[in-house]
Structure 1
Amino acid sequence: MTAPIAIRRLNAADPGFNKHLDHLLSWESVSDDGVNERVLDIIKNVRERGDAALVEYTQRFDGLAVNSMADLILPRERLELALTRITPAQRQALEVAAERVRSYHEKQKQDSWTYTEADGTVLGQKVTPLDRAGLYVPGGKASYPSSVLMNAIPAKVAGVPEVVMVVPTPRGEINEIVLAAACIAGVDRVFTIGGAQAVAALAYGTESVPPVDKIVGPGNIYVATAKRHVFGKVGIDMIAGPSEILVVCDGQTDPDWIAMDLFSQAEHDEDAQSILLSPDAEFLDKVAASIAQLLPTMEREAIIRTSMETRGALILVKDMEQAIEVANRIAPEHLELSVADPDAWLPHIRHAGAIFMGRYTAEALGDYCAGPNHVLPTSGTARFSSPLGVYDFQKRSSIIHCSAQGASELGKSASVLARGESLTAHARSAEYRIKN
């Protein structure tokens, strides 16, 4: 007989609510000393020994009998072959998703711009794509073709000439739909390597793996730790925590829908977080009943149960105003506004990675094919971070072109400010251009 599920119930009116909420939300995505030490050793080894280190780590960690890097490179023809090996339905779904993701991200593309002042001085901004981007994709059975689309397509829309993908194939397990997604997304080169060693290879380059300018894509604690260590040598997207969903509901949505929306994040892993806010206590009871009824039907029942019991919550709030206040405090990765008039509440949302409007917009649609990116800030970082986008693969350079008159006028102000900072060479450099 299935054991009943015990989900935390909180009331925002309770005196200790804020303390309980802080405890619920707390998450430290930091490595222990052992992981940190092993990652640093791997990075050092890859920097010093290049391909040879990659081959050895692949033999050791992925259980593959490879002899050289030639065994770890997938040509474009192999990606095209994968397209023929997946089902027609899978190929169509990938193509629909890719087209929607591409269409959405094309609207994010920034162009260079300039303007000319009255004295002829030209100011502006030059927008340039990165030369090369690296995409990390989890491998084996736990792989995600949707992540390939969400990471590679914005890079291509930005104009990045070369996207390099690394994907481990533990025990020789190759996920055909991941390779098909890479083909559709326009990935240029694929290496079947993973872990911290793949991150190090992308950051510093080896004889076979070219160094990239930015590394994006999800991975385990070793991958996340490696990304943290190579940041500065290369850019990274973010250090992501567990997946999260926060549902704000007025009590009028089908409770089975809400329960399944909560499950959609909880099934990722045991550390994922699913929270429901509602001013309707009776509705919270109905959702709890739906959770208990639907949980035994889920393939990942054990994972969902652990996630819901350890990090999930059903929270009673006084009204919708308080629900929005708590939502902004949580700053969730995914926010569902499952209410009658979501547009009325949207202006009050300040912190969220992605906002799903209305009763019909399941968060799962955003994970796959709605169009916006599913790489989102987690663990409250939506307070200062944004979804992955085209802008993450573009650089912006300032343009300053002074006319003689403009240099003369600006030089007067620059001279005063430079001498105020005791930087005489700055001042004199500007003063040379001042007309007497």
Structure 2
Amino acid sequence: MVFLIKALQLILSLSILVILHEFGHFLFARLFNTRVEKFYLFFNPGFTLFKFQKGETEYGMGWLPLGGYVKIAGMIDESMDKEQLKQPPQPWEFRAKPAWQRLLIMVGGVLVNFILALFIFWMVLFKWGESYVPVEGAQYGYSYHPVGHEMGLQDGDIVLAVDTFKVKTISDVAHFLFLEEPHAMTVKRGDSIFQLPIPEGVGQRLLSERVKQFAGFRIPFVVDSIVTGMPADIAGIQKGDSLVAVGGKQVPFFYEFVEELKKYSGETTTISFYRDEMLMSLPVRVSSAGKIGISPCSLYNYLEVKERKYGFFEAFPAGIRKGVNVLVGYVKQFRLVFTKEGMQQVGGFGTIGNLFPPSWDWLSFWTTTAFLSLILAFMNILPIPALDGGHVLFLFYEMVTRRKPSEKFMEYAQIAGMILLLALLLYANGNDIVRWLSK
């Protein structure tokens, strides 16, 4: 069921983004009286799921959900229609239009995706506002990944700043470590505040070890629910018990408790807890997966959550700032793709699908869709033949040199770009398959 929900969210999100991206090309083409022969959601090699004709344009839906396309008359694109190009240019064709009009036609899709992302962020902030836990809002501090422990962090520490970057939320710490190559962090431990040096290359290490969560909220382990028939239920642990130790070792916080429990996988150990302010202990059999069948109370019982609501017009500049910040962060992150560790993290549709939550949530759906819209805009503007950015690059060349690249060159460039994109597609989805099999 989780797979189905994520798949449906992915398909709906990509459908929205592809249709509006192609509409951007379509809009500028029609604005400059350029004929659009086809407008398709998804690709249709061999056959089409459905199609209809309206005016000069054939609208349809293909069966291969890898994108979509508009076929613009007189343009060398993925259709590789060479017959049309053998004829003299016609006034309604792309190749007959001035360079500045062709440039706007090509960037139309990217422009729409960028505007769409800002619009979604605007509407999200207006509808739901913002809520976050400030770093000081975690009264018990944070639990850190072993890489953080090696850096000198201790569970319970609060990172206040990374170099000169003030940390707003705990997720900012990993962001700065990945993207900014910092040298030191300001840490609060108990009543003291001090500087902790950051080892060189820690961001690359986090990437190579696929660290998904560098730090998490540190909360007491108070039982909220128990799975019937699981070891905790059989042993007699009850809702409201506050778990504090495993095998005699004091671990009063959730993350540390879970990690310690894993050491007794498949064995029986002693679980200590407080019930009605009385310390008790029970022998509990730990499953081979390191679990006993209990869930903690919501972490929001122990955190200070800040919320901000926006009016309709107030949310507009806030949405723009959010969209620009997300895009800048992604562009900085993109440089990691060209490292060995970064290439191993490249993913395809499986990775994209996992960005969506396991249950349908409109806030998460629209936030993720806005993020993907920015990615689609950025990736399409890269100067790679077969992408919009490749066409833009050749148009800039034409505008500077006052001469067009030959049609034969454009054909070869288009083929080379399509081969490169296909190779990247296979590699990215191959990574997904390898990761899935390794689990």
TM-score in terms of structure 1 length:
0.21
Higher RCO, 1 vs 2 (CA within 8 Å, ≥6 residues apart) = 1
Q: Which has the higher strand share?
A: 2
Whichever of the two has the greater Rg, that structure is: 2
TM-score in terms of structure 2 length:
0.21
